[in-house]
């Protein structure tokens, strides 16, 4: 089930170990590593390792992206996918695809935005999908207001 190439019993004999390693090297030389399928929209997806397989996460499926230390979480309607990457790298890859950085640790898919909710003290929360609420960082308010012009009036006292 594990696709084992060989096994060794203790005490390990050097000749037996050498034979096992030679067998593995021969198999590696002939075996091709499975690659994600090459298709026309390969640039429109991330390939994420899930257990023992690579799973394709299309950019359109992503509701929002969240930074988590040395990883990012790709939030979709069905679940979260973890990927080792930086927010800067993800942002660069998604910049031309209608994703907007709204916080130092969050990007949102503009096509998935359901509501932009002004809060008290000039705070803003963006609803993506049915139940995700992403806070907007104070330093990103101007960028978000540029995407949602009606938001500027809601953020200024007395609409001025």
Walking along the chain (160 residues) 10 residues at a time, the average pLDDT comes out as 77 91 80 51 77 87 92 92 91 85 93 88 87 92 83 60
- The confidence score (pLDDT) of residue 40 equals 45
* Model pLDDT, residue 41: 47
**Which pLDDT value is given to residue 32?**
52
The pLDDT assigned to 80 comes to 93
Note the pLDDT of residue 23. 85
Specify the pLDDT at position 24.
81
132 vs 99, 123, 155, CA distance in Å?
Answer: 16, 16, 22
* Cα 36 versus chain centre, distance: 17
With 0-12 CB in 10 A as exposed, 13-18 as middle and 19+ as buried, what is 101?
A: buried
Residue 97: the pLDDT is 80
**pTM (two decimals):** 0.67
pLDDT at residue number 71: 92
The number of beta carbons lying within 10 Å of the beta carbon of residue 54 is: 13
Instruction: Pick the closest to residue 77 from 97, 57, 99, 96 (CA basis).
Output: 57
């Amino acid at each position: 089930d594990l696709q084992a190439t060989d096994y060794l019993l203790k005490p390990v004999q050097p000749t037996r170990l050498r034979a096992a390693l030679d067998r593995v090297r021969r198999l590696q030389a002939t075996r091709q590593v499975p690659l994600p399928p090459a298709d026309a929209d390969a640039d429109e997806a991330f390939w994420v390792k899930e257990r023992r397989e690579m799973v394709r996460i299309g950019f359109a499926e992503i509701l929002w992206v969240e930074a988590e230390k040395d990883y990012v979480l790709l939030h979709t309607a069905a679940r979260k996918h973890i990927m080792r990457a930086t927010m800067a790298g993800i942002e660069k890859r998604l910049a031309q695809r209608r994703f907007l950085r709204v916080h130092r640790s969050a990007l949102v898919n503009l096509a998935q935005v359901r509501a932009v909710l002004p809060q008290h003290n000039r705070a803003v929360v963006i609803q993506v999908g049915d139940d995700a609420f992403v806070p907007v960082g104070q330093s990103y308010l101007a960028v978000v207001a540029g995407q949602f012009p009606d938001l500027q009036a809601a953020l200024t006292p007395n609409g001025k």
